[in-house]
Structure 1
Amino acid sequence: MDPPEQQEKQHGSAELEEDFTELEKKVSGAVPPQCHDGWMQRPTIYVVPGDLAAGNTDPYAPAAVCIGPFFGRARRVTEGMAKLERYKWCCVRKLIVGRRCGPGPAGTGTRRQPPEPADWKPEVHAPLLRRCVDAMTSLLPSIRASYSISSSMDTIDGGDDNAVLELKMLLEPEDADMDMGSTLAENMLLDGCFILHRLLKMARIAKRARKEGGGSSDDDDDWTQVYGRCGVWGLVTRDLLLLNNQIPLFVVRALLEQLKGSVDADEGDDVLVDGGLQLFSSLHPRRLQLHQPSALAVPVSLGDAHHLLHLFYMSITNLPVPTQSSASASMDKKLPPELTQWVPCAKELEDAGVRFRARKDGTATSFLDIKFSAGSGVLEIPPLQLYDYSEPLFRNLVAFEQTYPGTPGDVTAYAIFMDCLVKTSDDMRLLHRRGILLNHMNGDREAATEFFSRICAGALASADRNYLAPLMDEVVTYQRGSWPQWRAVLLRDYFGSPWAVIAVVVAAVVVALTMLQTFYALYAYYQPPKQS
């Protein structure tokens, strides 16, 4: 028999081998949920983190229409939403049947009138419906891989455990079953057709606007289909830009591909881009004239957009790559790193000689396009109009940047920069007088003053990805200089009002006359006139 020491050694080796085998199983089986059929798809739609919501989930919850799987219809749909849920079926039918809007009587100048609903022909329309359903079913692996399920889902139905379990059964392949797959395919068909119908309608409006210079009126019966909720479409547009309320755009593209022979749409994805930009033009921080070719600095490609919020995000962040001047490059060596994320408030900067100016239309590509001239001390910021819907819009843009790694983080950097500028109501009044921040929000002024602090609460922005870091360095360095402060004191104390200017001029004239009088008195003393 083996000695006890050898037996113990062999027993220990066997345990190590078992541990290694168990470890190998865990590593080999650690396949991400988004990995299927031998390839890896990165999620593009994330749940808004609870720390960004800070207990306020209203900016991330739909008010009129539920899109996507995050808000379960059985739990979330209210009486008002139920009308739009029924209208989604109407959208599917209209797209399948190929119903078009016809013009009014010739020469009357009346708006387009929708024809009577076409009859459903099973032998014609049922096969097309089947192809749409099959397209959704074939996309289920990609659809599931597009969503990221978090263990913390405070912004979804209050973080209800049943909601999390239902989502896992719906979206995670290992938990999914045939019934949940058919449910997900049906939901994607409904939501995809609803969005496609809206985008095609808006694309027609944009097309008429380019041809006729107008055409903002409706040519469909959307306003009469949802009885008692005629004002709901503004809420629908805002709901389509909620991060928790998205579906992948490849779902809409797949439906368009199946329905091209049925709907009145141009070829290609441009019709969806035009429709999306037209749909969200009223919410754009700087209103775009979308019928002008130069409205966007960089063309937006639908192939690069993952969902509607991403498409909108791309339309507002088409910034040219900033070039850092040699002056700001040298400033980076002088300033401590923490200052690249901070600037003094607007009132302090003005007291230090920084002048605020609203950038004129045509000189800025986006509301993010801020410019500072170190020579003149002028900080130019594009005007931004604040409405009640602005906070949910900005919150979801920031949440998208904080969750999706493929974004530059420009909106977060902008919000942090503006939060530094606006600390008190005096700062808000200063920027309002300069035409930079125009407050149209209901309620007291404090709501506008705290706007950016609420937007960027819990958000993080790294200095190496902050496009405003060089500009912030220049502003801080300029503010610390002595001459700008002296000039600011001079302008404030002696040229702050017309009466002060008059007093300075009078004092200067008195001093000049006194000096002349003294000069002539001394001259007459040392050079008396010759006696004749």
Structure 2
Amino acid sequence: METTSTMDCGEDIAIDIKSMAININRKLSGNLVMSSSFSIFRIPTILSRHTKNAYVPNAFAIGPFHRNSPSLQSTERIKQKYLRDLLSNRSNNPNCPTLDTLLTAIDKIQMEARGYYAGPIEMKTYEFVEMLVLDGCFIIELFRKNEELFRKNEDLSPRDKEDPIFTMSCLLQFLHHDLILLENQIPWIVLNTLFDLTNPTPSNQKSLVQLAIEFFPSLLRTKNPILDFSSTELGKSKHILDLLRNSLITKFDERQKINHDWQHIRSATGLRDSGITFKQNTRAESILDIRFFSKTGIMEIPPLLIQETTETVFRNLISLEQCCPNYKPIITCYAVLLDNLIDTSADIQVLERNKVIDNWLNVDDATKFFNRLFIDTYVKENYYFSLTSEVNKYCKQRWNIYRRVLTRDYFKHPWALVSVIAASVVLVLTFLQTFYAIKD
């Protein structure tokens, strides 16, 4: 046996080098490579420490990470009720599967589903399968009820009049928050499997992608853009949060000049004083599609809705991009650009007056939200490099500043314009009078 000695507090301690080597080799024998399928993470402390409430469920635990939280146990009965409602459809549709069928189907994919979660899941196989079926069926039934009750403007049935989610506004609001949390997801493959098994007439029903996106009204804008719900990109989503991200970036033009550097630009008030005008762009298919026209000095920005859930949406989307392997930081770049534009409450007011943002929060709260949105994040690619370069180039041209001052101070009102013209005429006449007097 190989041993060596060292001194510790005056005592000889023998170290078994061979045993140490065996122990370390045992640790190195496992798979130490981060799987590319990981897409559901516990939020790193460096990101969650600023606003913990943006990452923690209010009422509903979905998936394994929060399932044992004492404050979320009361809503388990609601999920059980929804599973029973889904299974009770057998009376109207004999093709509706039994609970055994659903459990068997999920059991076949449970290993693949487990691979979506980063880190170990301390659950036995049967517990994991039961959880996926319960949570997955709850979400599917929730989406279907939402479609029936709100999109078709139908009245509540006698059974649904006792449904707390659609009779209590707070629970629906909680779900709009809880279902977009990165820690509160289940794999899309599970939802899709359960949806296909419980879909009685697929040709006459909306797709799961469409039902999911329509469940979140006014996510970041008052009017959602028209999407192709059958697109391949949306169908490849890994979970609900990933689907929402894909719905935002699917229309984004990535052909802009991309750079690994970031150029800081002035805030909205600073850009305004440099001659730049903000204009609402309602034609944009993506909320991320911010454009600048250097010839006219106009920055077109798709309108952004700022409400209670906006911070939660942004923070979880950014965390998804920061944590998942090979994800493009498009939403993160958008957040950095917004932080550049919004430095003080005056900047918020400038953008509000130009209808670029629709702010439902207190102005100071909205300002603080943007100022701390991307703290401790890393942007490895800048998808707005062309825009920021053009803006900074425009701001360095003094004529644009002079033109802005002239427009703001002298051409703001009709009478001011008349005064400038009159003064110019007087100046010209005085010059001519002096010229001819000298000539004579």
TM-score (norm 2): 0.85
- Give the gaps of 5 or more residues in structure 1: 1-14, 35-39, 100-117, 150-166, 171-179, 210-214, 526-532
Aligned pair 1:405/2:317, yes or no? no
* Change beyond 3 A, Cα 1:227–1:274: closer
Q: Please state whether the residue corresponding to 2:392 is helix, strand or coil.
A: helix
Q: Please state whether the residue corresponding to 1:91 is helix, strand or coil.
A: helix
Letter paired with 1:65: F
Q: Equivalent residue for 1:484?
A: 400
Q: Does the 8 Å contact 1:296/1:365 carry over to 2?
A: no
Letter paired with 1:182: Y
Q: Equivalent residue for 1:474?
A: 390
d(CA) in 2 for partners of 1:466 and 1:425? 26
- Aligned pairs for 1:213-232 (under 5 A) are 215-217=152-154, 221-222=159-160, 224-226=162-164, 230-231=168-169, 232=171
Q: Does the 8 Å contact 2:136/2:194 carry over to 1?
A: yes
303, 306, 311: which is aligned to 2:235? 303
d(CA) in 1 for partners of 2:235 and 2:287? 24
Letter paired with 1:411: I
d(CA) in 1 for partners of 2:248 and 2:193? 26
Q: Does the 8 Å contact 1:273/1:301 carry over to 2?
A: no
Letter paired with 1:197: E
Q: Equivalent residue for 2:269?
A: 347
Q: Equivalent residue for 2:218?
A: 282
- How far is 1:257 from its partner? 3.3
Q: Equivalent residue for 1:42?
A: 37
111, 122, 126: which is aligned to 1:169? 122
d(CA) in 2 for partners of 1:297 and 1:120? 26
Q: Equivalent residue for 1:10?
A: none
Q: What is the CA deviation profile of residues 104-144 of structure 1, one whole-angstrom value per residue up to 9, with x for unaligned ones?
A: xxxxxxxxxxxxxx5999xx98x821121122222221122
94, 102, 105: which is aligned to 2:85? 94
- How far is 1:299 from its partner? 3.2
Q: Please state whether the residue corresponding to 2:98 is helix, strand or coil.
A: helix
d(CA) in 1 for partners of 2:432 and 2:227? 62
Q: Please state whether the residue corresponding to 2:358 is helix, strand or coil.
A: strand
Aligned pair 1:312/2:256, yes or no? no
Letter paired with 2:104: D
- How far is 1:243 from its partner? 1.0
- How far is 1:188 from its partner? 0.8
TM-score (norm 1): 0.71
Letter paired with 1:477: K
Q: Does the 8 Å contact 1:188/1:251 carry over to 2?
A: yes
Count of aligned pairs = 423
143, 151, 161: which is aligned to 1:199? 143
Q: Percent identity?
A: 30
36, 59, 83: which is aligned to 1:64? 59
Q: Does the 8 Å contact 1:203/1:275 carry over to 2?
A: yes
d(CA) in 2 for partners of 1:318 and 1:370? 15
Q: Equivalent residue for 2:365?
A: 447
Letter paired with 2:379: A
d(CA) in 2 for partners of 1:472 and 1:238? 33
d(CA) in 1 for partners of 2:111 and 2:166? 39
Q: Equivalent residue for 1:162?
A: none
Q: Equivalent residue for 1:31?
A: 31
Q: Does the 8 Å contact 1:97/1:120 carry over to 2?
A: no
d(CA) in 2 for partners of 1:354 and 1:193? 51
Q: What is the CA deviation profile of residues 20-70 of structure 1, one whole-angstrom value per residue up to 9, with x for unaligned ones?
A: 87776554x222598xxxxx6621111111111224311111112111111
* Change beyond 3 A, Cα 1:366–1:324: closer
RMSD: 3.3
Aligned pair 1:436/2:344, yes or no? no
Letter paired with 2:235: G
d(CA) in 2 for partners of 1:239 and 1:480? 46
Letter paired with 2:67: G
Q: What is the CA deviation profile of residues 63-120 of structure 1, one whole-angstrom value per residue up to 9, with x for unaligned ones?
A: 1211111103353425xxx2x3212222222222326xxxxxxxxxxxxxxxxxx599
Q: What is the CA deviation profile of residues 138-186 of structure 1, one whole-angstrom value per residue up to 9, with x for unaligned ones?
A: 222112211112xxxxxxxxxxxxxxxxx6422xxxxxxxxx2211111
- State the structure with more CA Rg: 1
- Give the gaps of 5 or more residues in structure 2: 1-15
Q: Does the 8 Å contact 2:82/2:142 carry over to 1?
A: no
Letter paired with 1:247: I
Q: Equivalent residue for 2:196?
A: 257
Q: Does the 8 Å contact 2:63/2:184 carry over to 1?
A: yes
Q: What is the CA deviation profile of residues 429-480 of structure 1, one whole-angstrom value per residue up to 9, with x for unaligned ones?
A: 1111111122111xx4211112212321222212xx2211111111112112
Letter paired with 1:454: R
447, 451, 461: which is aligned to 2:379? 461
Query: After the TM superposition, which of the residue ranges 507-516 and 419-428 deviates more from structure 2?
Result: 507-516
* Change beyond 3 A, Cα 1:74–1:448: closer
Q: Equivalent residue for 2:426?
A: 510
Q: Please state whether the residue corresponding to 1:344 is helix, strand or coil.
A: coil
Q: Please state whether the residue corresponding to 1:281 is helix, strand or coil.
A: coil
Q: Please state whether the residue corresponding to 2:122 is helix, strand or coil.
A: helix
